[in-house]
A and B are shown apart, each in its own frame.
With several copies, the nearest count.
Chain A
Amino acid sequence: MPKKKSEESKSNNKGAVRPDGRKVDELRPVKMEVGVIERANGSAYVEFGKTKVVAAVYGPEPMHPRHLADPEKAVLICRYNMLPFSVEDRKKPGPDRRSIEISKVIKDALSTIVALEEFPKCMISVDMVVLQADAGTRVAALTAASLALADAGIPMREMMSAVACGRANGKIVVDLTKEEEDAEDAVDVPVAMSSLTKKIALLQMDGDMTLEEFEEILNKAEEACSKIYDMQREALLNKYEKEGKEVNINDE
């Protein structure tokens, strides 16, 4: 497929390590904003390069339908969705098998840090919408979801930051683009890590790698998640400063 002009010139950029000129452990330009959906209890917008995601949180509120309530803790509901025009070939609206799986692993990851036990019989809903997709949508969505939960004041034991690392064109790199994901030798490892205890809560993988490469990827992911966490803190502080609210990040 022919490349767009801008990308062609970038890939001619001599000395550049990656197709878009980044170093192996360099994130794409990241943008984060908290409080973008007024009606929601909490919300966030996250950009990883050309990947753009909005997340919004409702709850805790009484679970409905009621017979699905858990008497011991809140039910966490996560919905990840791509808009039809967020990808090259129009995606039919509504959930598919891929988005059901991604919603599940995001829910599983967040359930390790959200204090669900404080809200028995309740539900907490996290909606994530991908506006534009250029790889890494699930990790951007999880990063945004974590911000939106904090913005909603939902008690969390720590924050969660996520990034995809892997291999492309012979190198172990962080935050792959779609172009890198399409490389012959690509390995894609989305990783989510908690901010305090550094526990991995989301980990998937596509590709073919040795255990040694895996270790290197995990190390790079840890570093990258730390950087992302710093940006998450800043985004939250920005909002609270604007609003003059007290900061409410549970892990500080």
Chain B
Amino acid sequence: MMSSKLTAEYVRSLIERGKRLDGRKLDEFREIKINYGVSEKAEGSAEVMIGNTRVVAGVKMDIGEPYPDMPNKGVLVTSAEFLAMAAPEFEPGLPGENAIELARVVDRGVRESGAIDLEKLCLVEGEKVWVVFLDIFVLNHDGNLIDAAGIAAIAALLNAKLPKITEDYEIVRDELTDPLPIKDIPIPITIRKYGEHLLLDTTALEEDVLTGKFTVTTKINGNICAMQLSDGMSMTKDEVLQAARMARDAATKIREKLFKDKLKELKKA
């Protein structure tokens, strides 16, 4: 989104006064909506909208071999693509470095938080395990893609059920059984910066004006399970710590709002 120099200056001057074009506070999110089950062919799927940003994530399950060094664990494979339709600046073709980064940051959040109970996905130790394919697609880009993708990812995983398998470990695709075992709800929150001001949930227009981003993924217990500073931003140690706290607090709010029931269930257990 190529903003004019004038717009850019206006956006920046607003931020300096703690304000934003759409009237939000600097640390305020746009409305987040989730549609579960957008593809019945997926074992689980969810569409997440943050404002006009629109991301869809789907889960397909297959049976495969475990990694040699984790013979008793299922395998998670995460991919992401910025569809050419999502913004005029997106090119068709293989995922570029931004889509790869997004997929890997989301993947680390899910993986390191232990969100999926991978040990329960082992069928025959060292031989047969469930492989969870988590595919993320950006349909419309209006900023804050990592957060939208991360929320879509965990929503799709929460929506996912294991297909039935026969005694010979053949998958019966259209008979779903138990839900995918989920143990945590990692939420990535991305912070951007202008001067000393930290912003959450930036729009595409704001991202065009600001440089760099810092993503912090936190677990239910407030622990950090993934971080990524990139796109040419540098921060002081104090800014980093402040941002991490902001991220934890914003994640807590989003978790309460969007995943209330699962949160209760997990806190009880």
Q: How far is the CB of B129 from chain A (nearest CB, A)?
A: 16
* Complex Cα gap A190–B13 (Å): 34
Chain A residues near B225 (CB, 8 Å)?
A: 205, 207-208
CB of A3 closer than 8 Å to a CB of B: yes
Evaluate contact between A103 and B142: CB separation under 8 angstroms: no
| Complex contact A38–B223 (CB within 8 A) | no
Q: Does A125 contact B (CB under 8 A)?
A: yes
**Interfacial chain A residues near B41, Cβ < 8 Å:** 85-88, 132-134
CB of A199 within 8 Å of the partner chain: yes
Nearest-CB distance from B122 to chain A (Å)? 18
Beta-carbon contact of B84 and A79 below 8 Å: yes
Check if A108 sits within 8 Å of B231, measured CB to CB.
yes
Q: A199-B234, A203-B229 are in contact. Are A84 and B84 (CB under 8 A)?
A: no
How many angstroms from the CA of A3 to the CA of B38 in the assembled complex? 20
Q: Closest 6 A-B residue pairs measured CB to CB?
A: A85-B58, A85-B42, A56-B85, A199-B234, A205-B227, A90-B60
Q: Is the interface of A mostly helix, strand, loop or mixed?
A: mixed
Interface-side segment among A15-23, A94-102, A232-240 = A94-102
Q: In the complex the two chains form, is B227's CB within 8 Å of A189's CB?
A: yes
Encode contact with A along B213-246: 1 for CB under 8 Å, 0 otherwise: 0100001001111111111111111001100110
Apart from A85-B135, A90-B62, list 17 A-B contacts with CB within 8 A: A1-B173, A39-B1, A50-B40, A58-B88, A84-B58, A85-B45, A86-B41, A87-B41, A100-B97, A101-B104, A103-B97, A104-B98, A129-B85, A199-B235, A201-B233, A207-B225, A215-B241
Cβ proximity bits B132-147 to A, threshold 8 Å, 1 near / 0 not:
0101010111100000
User: A37 near B133 (CB under 8 angstroms)?
Assistant: no
How many A-B pairs have beta carbons closer than 8 Å: the answer is 196
The count of chain A contact residues (Cβ–Cβ below 8 Å) is: 68
Is the Cβ of A201 less than 8 Å from the Cβ of B39?
no
The CA of A81 and the CA of B81, in the complex, are separated in Å by: 12
Q: Cβ of A169 < 8 Å from any Cβ of B?
A: no
Do B248 and A43 touch across chains, with their CB atoms under 8 A apart? Answer: no
- The residue among A37, A83, A215 with the most chain B CB atoms within 10 A of its own CB is A83
Is B38 within 8 A of A222, CB to CB? no
Q: Report the minimum CB–CB distance from B23 to chain A (whole Å).
A: 18
Chain B residues in the interface with A (C-beta under 8 A): 1, 38-43, 45, 52, 54, 56, 58-60, 62, 79, 81, 83-88, 92, 94, 97-98, 100-101, 103-104, 108, 112-114, 133, 135, 137, 139-142, 172-175, 204, 212, 214, 219, 222-237, 240-241, 244-245, 248
With contact pairs A2-B174, A39-B86 given, residues A93 and B232 touching in the complex (Cβ less than 8 Å): no
Contact (Cβ within 8 A) B85 A127: yes
B84: contacting residue among A125, A198, A199, A215, CB under 8 A: A125
Residues of A within 8 A of B224 (CB): 205, 208-211, 214
Tell me the smallest distance from the CB of A73 to a CB of chain B, in Å: 11
Partner of A203, one of B1, B142, B240: B240
Contact with B along A1-28 (1 / 0, CB 8 A): 1111000000000000000000000000
Q: Which of A131, A134, A210 is the most central at the interface, judged by chain B CB atoms within 10 Å of its CB?
A: A131
Contacts of A2 in B (CB 8 A): 172, 174-175
* CA distance in complex: A218, B233 (Å): 17
Interchain nearest-CB distance for B249 vs A (Å): 11
| A-side contacts of B101, CB under 8 Å | 101, 104-105
